[in-house]
């Protein structure tokens, strides 16, 4: 899979509404990567690969990607493996990387609970909390929102990324409270379709399984 790298997405969060007209509505198609051991074990991920049998599922989908002006993937191995198995030639974008879980990366929930029960409880209840030293969920939503605003004049953008990134994108599109993060479930190998009409984002569909198009 041919890839190139983009810089980070730091900057001020752009306004949700723009006074400038759009010539064409923007479309953002997000695909969540195939399952890994971390997904199945409810662990905080490292840069682990997709499980072998899950790769076979991806390769057997016989899915045809819709036409897109640009195709991105996150920088992690599991995302790039999924994209390659789907036949996508992606540009790697660090802006749609998974949540930075800091010192919890690679650890299971039970292990983290034994090491830092107070920190884990705070993380589960407060979107501002980042006891692991990485990103809070509010920071993730802001990061993904910045990236989404950079795509509003790009036509159709397709991106293979992470369930947490897809959650953040949905919350940003709906202007929903960040505390709603835990109320969304994004399955592996599912598609979320977002649209931008020149003023604001809308959620057209989410959680749709990949199928032949």
Contacts of residue 138, Cβ cutoff 8 Å, sequence gap at least 6: 127, 128, 178
> pLDDT at residue 206 above 60?
yes
Beta-strand pair 26-32/190-196 = antiparallel
On whether residue 162 sits in a domain, the answer given is: yes
Domain containing residue 60: 26-101+135-209
155: left (phi over 0), alpha (psi -120 to 50) or beta: left
On whether residue 69 sits in a domain, the answer given is: yes
Higher per-residue pLDDT: 136 or 19: 136
On whether residue 130 sits in a domain, the answer given is: no
pLDDT at 163: 95
Per DSSP, the three-state class of 27 is: strand
pLDDT at 64: 87
On whether residue 176 sits in a domain, the answer given is: yes
Q: How many domains does the chain have?
A: 1
> pLDDT at residue 12 above 80?
no
On whether residue 1 sits in a domain, the answer given is: no
On whether residue 12 sits in a domain, the answer given is: no
On whether residue 181 sits in a domain, the answer given is: yes
On whether residue 126 sits in a domain, the answer given is: no
pLDDT, one tens digit per residue, over 40-83 is 888 999 899 998 888 888 888 878 889 999 999 999 999 999 99
Which range is least confidently modeled, 6-15, 132-141, 190-199?
6-15
> pLDDT at residue 2 above 50?
no
> pLDDT at residue 106 above 60?
yes
Residue 132 burial by Cβ neighbours in a 10 Å radius (0-12, 13-18, 19+): buried
> pLDDT at residue 9 above 80?
no
Alpha carbons 51 and 67: distance in angstroms, whole number: 28
Q: What is the domain-level CATH number for residue 46?
A: 3.40.50.1240
Total-model pTM:
0.85
Alpha carbons 79 and 85: distance in angstroms, whole number: 10
> pLDDT at residue 13 above 70?
no
């Amino acid at each position: 899979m041919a890839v190139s790298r983009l810089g980070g997405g730091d900057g001020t969060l752009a306004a949700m509404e723009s006074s400038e007209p759009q010539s064409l509505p923007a479309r953002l198609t997000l695909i969540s990567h195939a399952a890994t051991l971390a997904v199945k074990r409810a662990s905080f991920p490292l840069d682990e690969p997709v499980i072998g049998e899950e790769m076979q599922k991806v390769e057997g989908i016989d899915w045809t990607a819709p036409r897109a002006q640009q195709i991105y993937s996150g920088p992690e191995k599991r995302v790039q493996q999924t994209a390659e198995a789907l036949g996508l030639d992606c540009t790697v974008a660090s802006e749609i990387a998974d949540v930075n879980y800091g010192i919890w990366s690679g650890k299971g929930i039970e292990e983290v609970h034994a090491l830092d029960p107070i920190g884990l409880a705070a993380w589960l209840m407060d979107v501002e909390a980042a006891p692991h030293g990485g990103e809070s969920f509010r920071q993730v939503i802001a990061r993904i929102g910045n990236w989404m605003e950079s795509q509003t004049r790009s036509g159709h953008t397709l991106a293979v990324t992470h369930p947490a990134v897809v959650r953040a994108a949905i919350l940003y599109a709906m202007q929903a409270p960040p505390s709603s993060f835990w109320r969304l479930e994004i399955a592996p190998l599912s598609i979320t379709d977002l649209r931008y009409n020149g003023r604001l984002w809308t959620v057209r569909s989410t959680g749709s399984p990949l199928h032949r198009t």
